């Protein structure tokens, strides 16, 4: 099953493995890809996953989460075009999708403006006006056009992990204007931006999809029943998924949590291994709601079965076991790997060809997250000497 192709919109993913977006903060000072960026994506192209997401790219350097975040704009288009071209020269098969974001309240205050949709409690954070939100919407439209122009197969309109588009969806967003309060108002930004995007690109084979956090795990977060509530209630996320489909989008990538606040929800580790089961359930819930392909997240922790799940037979708790089981049972259409794609960019190829003993399995040690949180270039600090050294230096500084 994992080897079987699947149509996504008018295109086809050649297998069911997805390299999730992984921001690695290695652009130059203007957000162009650097040799480190090219090296990472050339390797991923060689790895041959059905879909390769290019990491979270900002369309504005005025507000951005990472000092050296990749930017998608007219001035970086040449570099992005080269990136896509080089990846295709290595392997023409993977679908290459750009994740486009606005970092909102998670923009870095040391180098950019922190902005939010509803008050954060910090008076330094600029509360966006209605007009500014509309301008941000235009930014997404422009960025999508550039993605198309440089040869990407499509985009992921990022709504996950607490960044601006995720923030706007929350019950806690009680803005009194047309972007806050009711579910209708909180999803207006998505709907209106999508309408503009569709108008701008025309309806051809260019793919439009979206990744969102189905349950954020904070009071009033998306996936709770009200501004002050914390319990998981999927009514709104499921309505939203249906809306995403009805708007004509081609896929949904299901994630959960906010890395800055609830990292264990986003990334299962030995602290709470069963977190992976919640990801399975979340993807299944969306699958039951829509007919467009659904991508699941959080699979890196499973490895070859050497994990802390409470099942004594390692063969029944490995990545391959759960990927095949969930795919066969129709609980998900594609399985996404994040950290595992850093640990071993050739993971997909090795899994698909049965060379399991050659895989460098992610240990879920968190080293790459430390690099990202420290605003350094990101890569696997276990298997790659370069990033190992960057992490060592950070630890010596502490």
Binding residues (CB under 6 A) for ligand SF4: these are 339, 342-343, 362-368, 380-382
Q: Are 24 and 377 in contact (CB under 8 A)?
A: yes
Quote the least distance from Cβ 215 to ligand FMN, whole Å: 14
Binding mask 343-372 for ligand FMN (x = CB under 6 A): -------------------------xx--x
**Does the protein bind ligand FMN through residue 255 (CB under 6 A)?**
yes
User: Any idea what DSSP says for residue 129?
Assistant: P
Quote the least distance from Cβ 327 to ligand FMN, whole Å: 16
Rounded Cα–Cα distance for residues 316 and 190 (Å): 40
β-bridge pairing 11-13 and 6-8: antiparallel
**Does the protein bind ligand FMN through residue 340 (CB under 6 A)?**
yes
Q: Are 85 and 151 in contact (CB under 8 A)?
A: yes
**Does the protein bind ligand FMN through residue 68 (CB under 6 A)?**
no
| Count of CA atoms in the C-beta half-sphere (13 A) of 202 | 4
Number of residues that bind ligand FMN (CB under 6 A): 27
Q: Any bridge partners for residue 255, and if so which?
A: 213
User: Judged by CB, which is closer to ligand SF4: 42, or 388?
Assistant: 388
User: Judged by CB, which is closer to ligand FMN: 301, or 361?
Assistant: 301
Q: Are 206 and 154 in contact (CB under 8 A)?
A: yes
Structure tokens at 152: 């990407």
What angle in degrees, to the nearest 10, is found between the helix axes of 319-328 and 275-287?
A: 20
Binding mask 164-203 for ligand FMN (x = CB under 6 A): ----------------------------------------
**Does the protein bind ligand FMN through residue 222 (CB under 6 A)?**
no
CA-CA distances (angstroms) from residue 123 to 118, 127, 177, 181, 395? 12, 9, 20, 21, 33
Quote the least distance from Cβ 180 to ligand FMN, whole Å: 24
Q: Name the site residues for ligand FMN (rule: CB under 6 A).
A: 20-23, 55-56, 99, 160-161, 211, 255, 266-268, 297-301, 337-340, 368-369, 372, 378
């Amino acid at each position: 099953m994992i080897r079987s192709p699947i149509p996504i919109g008018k295109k086809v993913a050649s297998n069911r493995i997805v390299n999730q977006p992984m921001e690695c903060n290695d652009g130059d000072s203007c957000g162009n890809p650097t040799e480190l960026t090219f090296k990472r994506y050339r390797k991923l192209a060689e790895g041959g996953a059905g879909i390769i997401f290019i990491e979270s790219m900002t369309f504005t350097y005025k507000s951005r989460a990472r000092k050296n975040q990749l930017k998608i704009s007219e001035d970086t288009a040449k570099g992005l075009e080269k990136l896509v071209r080089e990846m295709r020269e290595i392997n023409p098969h993977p679908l290459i999708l750009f994740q486009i974001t606005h970092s909102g309240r998670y923009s870095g205050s040391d180098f950019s403006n922190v902005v939010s949709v509803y008050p954060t409690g910090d008076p330094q954070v600029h509360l966006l006006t209605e007009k500014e939100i509309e301008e941000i919407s235009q930014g997404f439209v422009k960025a999508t056009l550039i993605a198309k122009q440089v040869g990407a197969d499509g985009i992921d309109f990022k709504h996950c992990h607490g960044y601006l588009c995720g923030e706007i969806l929350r019950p806690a967003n009680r803005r009194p204007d047309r972007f806050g309060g009711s579910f209708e108002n909180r999803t207006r930004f998505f709907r209106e931006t999508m309408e503009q995007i569709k108008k701008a690109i025309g309806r051809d084979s260019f793919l439009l999809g979206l990744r969102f956090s189905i349950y954020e795990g904070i009071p009033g977060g998306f996936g709770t029943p009200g501004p002050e509530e914390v319990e998981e209630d999927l009514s709104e996320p499921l309505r939203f998924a249906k809306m995403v489909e009805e708007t004509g989008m081609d896929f949904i990538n299901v994630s959960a949590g906010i890395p800055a606040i609830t990292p264990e929800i986003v990334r299962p580790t030995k602290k709470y291994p069963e977190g992976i089961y919640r990801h399975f359930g979340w993807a299944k819930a969306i699958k039951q709601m829509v007919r467009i392909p659904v991508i699941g997240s959080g699979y890196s922790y499973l490895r070859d079965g050497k994990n802390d799940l409470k099942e004594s037979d390692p063969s029944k708790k490995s990545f391959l076991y759960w990927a095949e089981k969930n795919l066969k049972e129709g609980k998900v259409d594609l399985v996404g790997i994040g950290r595992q794609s850093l640990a071993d960019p050739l993971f997909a190829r090795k899994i698909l060809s049965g060379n399991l003993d050659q895989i460098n399995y992610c240990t879920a040690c968190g080293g790459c997250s430390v690099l990202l949180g420290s605003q350094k270039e990101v890569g696997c600090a276990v298997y790659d000497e370069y990033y190992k050294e960057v992490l060592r230096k950070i630890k010596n500084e502490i």
